Amino acid sequence: MAAYILRRLLLIIPTLIGILTINFLIIQAAPGGPVEQTIAQLQGISVGATARISGAQSDLSTNQPATNSSESSYRGASGLDPELVKEIEALYGFDKPAHERFWQMLKSYAVFDFGKSLFSDKTVIELIIEKLPVSISLGLWATLITYLVSIPLGIRKAVRDGTPFDIWSSSVIIVGYAIPNFLFAILLIVIFAGGSWLDWFPLRGLTSPNFDELSLFGQIKDYFWHITLPVFASVIGSFATLTMLTKNSFLDEINKQYVLTARAKGLKENQVLYGHVFRNAMLIIIAGMPAALISIFFTGSMLIEVIFSLDGIGLLGYEAVINRDYPVIFGTLFIFTLIGLILKLISDITYVFVDPRIDFESREQ
C-alpha cells in the first residue's frame, strides 16, 4: 500500500503541470488582460462586460481597426506614451515572453509562492484564507445535510422499491433536481427573506453587523439564522444523485447470494442491511465523495454567494476571471486541483478500510 500511495503522490506532479499548462495557454489566448484593462482605465474607458460588447460593436460599425500596430499591440493604447505602456507591462510582468512567465510561475508554485493579486494588493494565500470560511460554511453544512438525508432515504427506497413511498419520493427529488439552485435561492428570498411573503431570514452576509457584541448563544443563533437559506439553496439539487445512487447500490447488493444466506440464517433485516449490505453498497458512495466535496465547496456556490451577498471562494474566482487577475486564477486553480487529487487518493485509501479485500497495489502489477 505504501508503494501505491507513493506512486499516486508522484503522479500528482505531472497532473498539476498539465492542468496549469492547458489553462495558461487558454488564458493567454483570451483577450482583455490586465494590461489592456489598465490602459482602458487610463483612457477613461469602462472595462465592464457591457462596455466590451458595445466597444466591439462600435469598431465593427465604423470599420476601424481595433489597434494601432505601429504604436502598440494593445487595444486602446493609441495616444499613450510607449514608455508608459512598457511600465505597465513591467508592472504586471508582461515584459517577458509567455514561456518565461510560465516557467517562473512553475518555480514559484513549487515552493508554494503564489504571488500577489494584481488588483487587491494582497497575496493569493491571504485572499483564500479571507474568503475560505464562507465557502467552508456553505460546503460543510450542504455536504452534511445531503449525506444525512440522501443515504437513509436511498436505503429506505431500496427496501421499499416499487411501493407508493418509492414513487412519490422519487418524484419529489427529481423535481428538486430539475430546479437550478440559483432559481431556488431566488424563490426562497421571495418567500422567506422579505420578498412578497415572509420576512423571517436576512438577505445579506453570513453574520449580522453586531455579531461581535452578541453572546456565544446569540452568535450561534445569528450564524444559523444567516446560513439557513444559502444552505437550503445549495443542497436542493444534490439529493437526487446521491439518493438514487444509494438506492441502486443497495438494490444491486440485496439480490446477491450472501444476503439470501444471511436472511436464511435468521438475521434481522437491520442486521442484514447494516451488517452485510451497507459495507459493500457504500463503496460507490465513497468513490464520489471527493468530487462532491470539491464541487460543493469551491464551484457550486458561486451563484449562491452572489445572490446572498456572501464573500466566498466562488465569488473570488468569478471576479478574478472577469478582472484577468492571473495570480489569483492560477493560484486558486493550483491549490484546488491539488486538494482534489489528494482527496481522490484519500478516497482510494478509504476503500481499503471499508473493504480490506481491495488491494490497489496488486491490481497494478
User: Average pLDDT for residues 99-105, to the nearest whole number?
Assistant: 86
Cell 482602458 belongs to residue = 40
pTM, full prediction: 0.71
In DSSP terms, which residues pair with 116 in a beta bridge?
Answer: 123
Per-residue cell: 48: 465592464
How many angstroms separate the CA atoms of 317 and 325, rounded? 9
Q: Which residue did the predictor score with more confidence, 172 or 269?
A: 172
Q: Enter the DSSP assignment of 173.
A: H
Grid cell for residue 109: 508554485
Cα 250 from Cα 246, distance rounded (Å): 6
Euclidean distance between CA atoms 337 and 250, whole angstroms: 32
Most confident of 18-27, 82-91, 134-143, 269-278: 18-27
pLDDT one-digit tens code per residue, 234-252: 888 778 888 888 888 888 8
E strand intervals along the chain: none
Architecture of domain 125-363: Orthogonal Bundle (1.10)
pLDDT tens-place string over residues 293-306: 666 565 556 778 88
pLDDT digits (tens, 9 = 90+) for 55-80: 433 343 333 333 343 345 555 555 55
Helices (H), 179-268: 181-192, 216-235, 239-254, 257-264
Q: What is the mean predicted confidence (pLDDT) over 148-170?
A: 89
**Ranges for all domains in the chain classified under CATH 1.10.3720.10:** 125-363
Residue 24 has pLDDT above 70, yes or no: yes
State the CB neighbour count (10 A cutoff) for residue 49.
10
Banded model confidence at residue 52, pLDDT cuts 50, 70, 90: very low
Q: How high is the pLDDT of residue 18?
A: 92
Phi and psi at residue 199, to the nearest 5°: -130, 65
* Mean pLDDT to the nearest integer, 223-231: 87
Integer angstrom CA distances of residue 126 from 130, 323, 335? 6, 18, 13
Q: What are phi and psi of 320, to 5 degrees?
A: -65, -40
pLDDT at residue 295, as a whole number: 61
